[in-house]
Chains A and B, each alone.
Chain A
Amino acid sequence: EAQVTQNPRYLITVTGKKLTVTCSQNMNHEYMSWYRQDPGLGLRQIYYSMNVEVTDKGDVPEGYKVSRKEKRNFPLILESPSPNQTSLYFCASSSRLAGPTGELFFGEGSRLTVL
């Protein structure tokens, strides 16, 4: 089954404690991206990657890091989480062959709370 898998789905942590949200896709997609969803703000892009070892900032990259060492994985790293990073996070992937950005396939989301 084609899917994007995120872990953990739910996490409560404290300010400053480094955490990583993993994302893996099994569709051999070149493009992967991270979004956060906040009330009244919709989905905002954090980082994206067009292929292995190629990453770039989205609209709200501050406080986040990413890496793309393998095509299937695109982890999101919060080195020192702060309460304003409490949000619902989505990882997504697409094939660039499908169009300018392709139809994005999203994971089920990771709800993060930073106390």
Chain B
Amino acid sequence: DQQVKQNSPSLSVQEGRISILNCDYTNSMFDYFLWYKKYPAEGPTFLISISSIKDKNEDGRFTVFLNKSAKHLSLHIVPSQPGDSAVYFCAASSLFGNEKLTFGTGTRLTIIP
């Protein structure tokens, strides 16, 4: 039972354009969401997060949007740069859960120079 889904395994975007990565979840108890970025041969690193009391959180070129009614979040990267090429995982947790972070399957983003 995949509670956090990233339906696009891969995405290619031209350098300078906007990259939009999507994530859907099924568990309505999730109230905290994070994005992690992973380069080959490295561990994932935290990118940005959002609490369910917000619908948008911005950090430089990265913005995460949360639509609670649709159980959908997205990560926008603008402008996209070659160094953004990586696998992106979304993750979700519940404040009242067991502090477990549930990850999606990942989306491989390739930025084309």
Tell me the A residues contacting B by CB distance below 8 Å.
4, 31, 33, 35, 40-45, 48, 50, 56, 58-59, 90, 92, 96, 99-101, 103-109
Kindly list chain A residues whose C-beta atoms are within 8 Å of the C-beta of B93. Answer: 100-101
A-B contact pairs, 11 of them (CB 8 A): A41-B105, A42-B104, A42-B105, A43-B106, A56-B98, A99-B49, A100-B32, A100-B93, A101-B93, A103-B46, A107-B43
Whether the Cβ atoms of A104 and B101 lie closer than 8 Å is yes
Complex: A104 Cα to B9 Cα, angstroms: 23
Kindly list chain B residues whose C-beta atoms are within 8 Å of the C-beta of A56. Answer: 98
Chain B contact residues: helix, strand, loop or mixed: loop
Tell me the B residues contacting A by CB distance below 8 Å.
4, 6, 9, 31-32, 34, 36, 41-46, 49, 89, 91, 93-95, 97-106
Given A33-B101, A108-B42, 10 new contacts (CB under 8 A): A4-B43, A42-B6, A43-B103, A48-B100, A59-B102, A100-B94, A100-B97, A101-B101, A104-B36, A109-B42
Question: Which B residue's beta carbon lies closest to that of A9?
Answer: B41
Kindly list chain B residues whose C-beta atoms are within 8 Å of the C-beta of A106. Answer: 43-45
B80 to chain A, nearest CB (A): 22
B60 to chain A, nearest CB (A): 16
Question: Which B residue's beta carbon lies closest to that of A33?
Answer: B101
Question: Which B residue's beta carbon lies closest to that of A99?
Answer: B32
**Beyond A100-B93, A101-B93, A103-B46, is A48–B99 a contact (Cβ under 8 Å)?**
yes
B21 to chain A, nearest CB (A): 14
Kindly list chain A residues whose C-beta atoms are within 8 Å of the C-beta of B43. Answer: 4, 90, 92, 106-109
Kindly list chain A residues whose C-beta atoms are within 8 Å of the C-beta of B42. Answer: 108-109
Kindly list chain A residues whose C-beta atoms are within 8 Å of the C-beta of B97. Answer: 100
Question: Which A residue's beta carbon lies closest to that of B104?
Answer: A42
Whether the Cβ atoms of A101 and B100 lie closer than 8 Å is yes
Complex: A107 Cα to B32 Cα, angstroms: 23
Kindly list chain A residues whose C-beta atoms are within 8 Å of the C-beta of B104. Answer: 42
**Beyond A90-B43, A106-B44, is A42–B106 a contact (Cβ under 8 Å)?**
yes
Whether the Cβ atoms of B103 and A44 lie closer than 8 Å is yes
